[in-house]
Homo-oligomer: A and B are copies of this chain.
Amino acid sequence: MASTKASTIYDVAKVAGVSHQTVSRLLRGYAGIREETRARVLDAIKQLDYHPNITARNLRNGSTGMIALAIPDLRQPYFAELAQSVISAARDAGLTVFVETTDGNPERELAVLGGTQSQLVDGVLYIPKSIDADILTAQNIEFPIVLLGDRILDSQFDHVTLPNLEGARAAVQHLISLGRTQVAFIGAEPDTDFGAAALRLRGYRNALESAGIAYRHDLVIFDSEWERHSGASSMRALLDSGVPFDAVFCCNDALAIGALRTLLSAGLKVPGDVAIAGFDDTEDARFSFPSLTSVAPGRDELARAAVGLLQRRIEEGGARGAREEIVSGYSLAIRESTVGAA
């Protein structure tokens, strides 16, 4: 650490009566060292409480064992939980993570890619929010990067994403199976055919279709913020529109929590009057009242896959293999907001 003078391999070497190189070799598991010498060096290491200086090693080796995690905002539970999973997965992989929050701000999202600290890390795990594929491609990125999360667009980059379509379809099918026929959708995004919103909307339509229910524009609410407050206003808008509905699928749990709040404060019963389901299975979904039915992507699995993929790319060095796309599995956590007593 900065404030104390730590011992170096030279100190160890001096104590052990060998050259620094012998120490270095031993540390890196080099075979040709006599048993007696090895013992002396190990002894010196213990005696001096020597720890290799990572910075020096990094400088020499050119790699740091650190990855950056670019994430919009830890205040949102979905991101916080994802970050936690990534950090754990990275630790298991022997990497340390360096969290860079972007606020979903395009400028800051870009800054991460060119920023000062990008040289400190071996690669970047990127959870984009407002940046789209074209901008990203135009950046001419020449280091390992893996995109992660729901808002992944078709791009040249490796990415790890959620079963958007399938998950949404399963949730909506569940709502329909309860006898609901007027299922609203909150969280559509205008003007995109790609991305999580579009895929989840497609899953919703798929489910309607297979149940023989006609798709209706007036049940689809646009909302590209996907936060609690926007979910609350979107639901307000839906209620104000006067269009009758008996269920809602929200693109994520934050929207659902906000929508749920609006429903309850409007005096409606959930799930009596309106059943509601979300996506992400964040922890707050389990403790709302009624608790929230939600699509649960394998978050840890996702994080592990992303870290693993990034690590492979780092090891590959320049030689880039074909782009990879990993999609996690999912399950549907059914709770009170769809099958409650109320």
A322 at the binding interface (Cβ < 8 Å): no
For A83, list chain B residues within 8 Å (CB): 74, 80, 99
A2 and B84 contact, Cβ closer than 8 Å, known pairs A116-B51, A261-B289, A283-B75: no
A56 at the binding interface (Cβ < 8 Å): yes
A80 and B87 contact, Cβ closer than 8 Å, known pairs A289-B264, A289-B289, A317-B3: no
For A317, list chain B residues within 8 Å (CB): 2-3
Q: Is the CB of B1 within 8 A of A143?
A: yes
Which listed residue (B120, B229, B257, B264) contacts A54, Cβ 8 A? B120
Q: Which of A57-65, A125-133, A176-184 forms part of the interface with chain B?
A: A57-65
For A318, list chain B residues within 8 Å (CB): 3-4
Q: Is the CB of B117 within 8 A of A54?
A: yes
Which listed residue (B55, B116, B119, B228) contacts A120, Cβ 8 A? B55
* Chain A 182-221 per-residue mask, 1 if CB under 8 angstroms from chain B, else 0: 0000000000000000000000000000000000000000
Interface size of A in residues (CB-CB distance below 8 Å) = 62
A295 → chain B closest CB, angstroms: 18
Most B CB contacts (10 A, CB to CB) among A101, A122, A144, A291 go to A101
Which listed residue (B98, B100, B117, B122) contacts A2, Cβ 8 A? B122
Given A4-B142, A73-B84, A261-B287, 16 more A-B residue pairs with CB atoms under 8 Å apart are A1-B119, A2-B62, A2-B314, A3-B143, A3-B318, A4-B143, A51-B116, A54-B117, A54-B120, A55-B119, A56-B59, A74-B81, A75-B81, A83-B99, A87-B101, A257-B284
What would 8 A/B residue contacts be, using CB atoms closer than 8 Å?
A3-B143, A4-B143, A74-B84, A74-B87, A87-B99, A87-B101, A97-B98, A288-B289
